[in-house]
Amino acid sequence: MKVGAIIFSRMSSTRLPKKAMLEISGRSLLGRVIDRSKHIKGIDEVIVATSNDKDDDEIANFSGREGIKVYRGSLENVTLRALSTCKEYNLDKFVRICGDRPFFDPNLISNLIDIYKGKEIDLLTTTFPRTYPPGLTVEIISSKALEYAFSSMSEEDKEHVTKFFYRYPDKFSIKNITAMENLDFKNINLCLDTLDDLKRIEWIASQIEDSEYSYASMKKIVSLAQIWNKNN
């Protein structure tokens, strides 16, 4: 069984345009995401999936310089881009990594891959119901199940990849993961969608040594987010 980590990234964000290349404490957002992706154990490939749009040339070029494989496909149909990436690299399952989540936890993902790699699960998730805060969620998806779902998806479903699974859970084998860490996730948001998010994310990153960033623990990151929330 071949498992990949697919980083979905594009420049045409509506709320924060070109955020993929925004600097987060001296390194681009996409670079930060790539750094943590390289520390996921149990995967065969790390791939950046971006679009064929000319604006995304910068993402493709940056990823290539980082030594990361790139797939380019549909801009709006993210599910088709995911399926095409899986076919291109012969992936049986993939970790869905959104390019605006620089603090996702590679250790959590590694543990889940180790536990469930050989099991027939269509979707392994932490959002059904949500057990980790935004920015720390995990989704590991069967490419076969996604292909089965694709023909029944609406255009909106195709933009969000797993929305169809959550709307029709009886059609799939879905395993939801309870939070393993005894941490207070109240009011924690580690996604980067707005300028306010950027200020928070940049401050948290600035408190972590560059040499430690790629494997900094969830406990440390959540603790820093709590400090930010308390002081702002």
| Residues found in the chain | 232
> For position 128, which CATH number holds?
3.90.550.10
Kind and range of the H or E element at 204? helix 195-206
Cα 215 versus chain centre, distance = 15
Instruction: Summarize pLDDT for 27-77 with one digit per residue, the tens.
Output: 999 999 999 999 999 999 999 999 999 999 999 999 999 999 999 999 999
Q: Which has the higher per-residue pLDDT, 13 or 55?
A: 55
**How many independent structural domains does the chain possess?**
1
pLDDT for residue 209: 95
Predicted confidence band at 118 (pLDDT cuts at 50, 70, 90)? confident
Q: Which of 89, 96, 98 is nearest to 112 (CA)?
A: 96
Please, are residues 158 and 150 in contact by the beta-carbon 8 Å criterion? yes
What residue type is assigned to position 123 of the chain? Answer: L
Domain around 9: 3-231
The mean pLDDT of 106-113, rounded to a whole number, is 96
Q: Does the pLDDT value for residue 136 go beyond 90?
A: yes
Instruction: Summarize pLDDT for 139-198 with one digit per residue, the tens.
Output: 999 999 999 999 999 999 999 999 999 999 999 999 999 998 899 999 999 999 999 999
pLDDT for residue 117: 83
The bridge status of strand 45-51 relative to strand 139-142 is: unpaired
Could you tell me the two tokens for 105?
């936890």
Distance CA(135)–CA(139), nearest Å, equals 12
Distance CA(139)–CA(175), nearest Å, equals 10
